[in-house]
Amino acid sequence: RTVYLNGEYLSETEAKVSIFDRAFLMADGVYEVTSVLGGKLIDFGGHLKRLERSLNELDMKKPAAFDDLLEIHRKLVELNGIDEGLIYLQVTRGAPGDRDFAFPDPETTEPTLVLFTQNKPGLADNPTAKKGIKVISIDDIRWGRRDIKTVQLLYPSMGKMMAKKAGADDAWMVEDGFVTEGTSNNAYIVKDGKIITRNLSTDILHGITRAAVLKFAREAQMIVEERPFTVDEAKDADEAFFTSASAFVMPVVEIDGTAIGGGSVGQVATRLREIYLEESIKAGV
């Protein structure tokens, strides 16, 4: 696989980053994941906009002009022959000469920019979307700026492991009695025809797939309510699903061992998945 590191296209075994890189020592970095369908980048504009916002919130320098980022994405897709898959992009505050809590001087420390592809044939036609997944609920003990897409992913990783141990697929996190989001996705329920998902704030990541799916839902005259919901509401819902750039719209059929909507995949989730795939492939770049 060919990867990108600070201006160079290298083989994955050649690409090396300093041990003083702030992402390695302090999780001082942000990332984006963009999906590739039919060789095209999905929702690319949204991912770049969120990257810019994450960088601004953390006073981090832009690693490259945004036009160049599109070119790098396209070149990696081409070099690695990706038809369906993902592109991971990470920007870190770079590698000053030593470890220090204070941010290094941006005049002298350049950000580290890394991109690599993940080949995932069958991403769109995922059989899991036809049977749905099971989630458990866990406490949300993450920091308070979940709207910034940082590489501090230890607790979400632990959440996935807790889910696996419980015989489930993923975890939905709960704070003050309300679901915030999934470990790596935004959470939704459907009740009496209404799509309910937590409103945007610093409590959750502002999902790019979420924005697109809610827009398509409203365009299709579906009713959307942006507000927090509880695990009990999810248990009592007609359907549940999650969204993310790597899974698109994924039905959820069980929470904490209770079947949702009789335990089968719902119509709203199925329809939204179809609309999302169709529209976003059309708009792919």
Among 138, 208, 217, 265, which residue interacts with ligand PMP (rule: CB under 6 A)? Answer: 208
203 binds ligand PMP (CB under 6 A): no
User: Other CB atoms closer than 10 Å to residue 64's CB: what's the count?
Assistant: 16
# residues near ligand PMP by CB under 6 A: 13
Residues 38-97 that bind ligand PMP (CB under 6 A): none
280 binds ligand PMP (CB under 6 A): no
Residues 134-193 that bind ligand PMP (CB under 6 A): 181, 184-186
Classified as helix, coil or strand, 49 is helix
Q: How far is the CB of 235 from ligand PMP (least distance, A)?
A: 22
Phi, psi for residue 166 in degrees, rounded to 5: -85, 5
Which string of DSSP letters, residue by residue, matches 223-261? EEEES---HHHHHTSSEEEEEETTTEEEEEEEETTEESG
Among 3, 36, 114, 245, which residue interacts with ligand PMP (rule: CB under 6 A)? Answer: 245
Stretch touching ligand PMP by CB under 6 A, among 59-67, 110-118, 205-213, 255-263: 205-213
Q: How far is the CB of 177 from ligand PMP (least distance, A)?
A: 19
Among 209, 234, 275, 276, which residue interacts with ligand PMP (rule: CB under 6 A)? Answer: 209
Question: Measured from the CB atom, is 117 or 184 closer to ligand PMP?
Answer: 184
Question: Measured from the CB atom, is 112 or 185 closer to ligand PMP?
Answer: 185
Dist. CA 49–CA 281, nearest whole Å:
19
Residues marked active site are found at 149
Q: How far is the CB of 243 from ligand PMP (least distance, A)?
A: 6
Residues with Cβ within 8 Å of residue 21, at least 6 apart in sequence: 92, 94, 95, 112
* Residue 174: Cβ-neighbour burial (10 angstroms; 0-12, 13-18, 19+): middle
Among 90, 117, 150, 243, which residue interacts with ligand PMP (rule: CB under 6 A)? Answer: 243
DSSP 185: B
The b/e string for 69-102 (b: 16+ C-beta within 10 A; e otherwise) is beebbbebbeebebebbbbbbbbbbbbbeeeeee
Q: How far is the CB of 9 from ligand PMP (least distance, A)?
A: 25
Containing 67, the helix (H) or strand (E) segment is helix 66-79
Question: Measured from the CB atom, is 112 or 197 closer to ligand PMP?
Answer: 197
Dist. CA 25–CA 102, nearest whole Å:
12
Dist. CA 200–CA 216, nearest whole Å:
17
Stretch touching ligand PMP by CB under 6 A, among 6-14, 53-61, 122-130, 241-249: 241-249
Report the interface residues with ligand PMP, using CB under 6 A: 33, 181, 184-186, 205, 207-210, 243-245
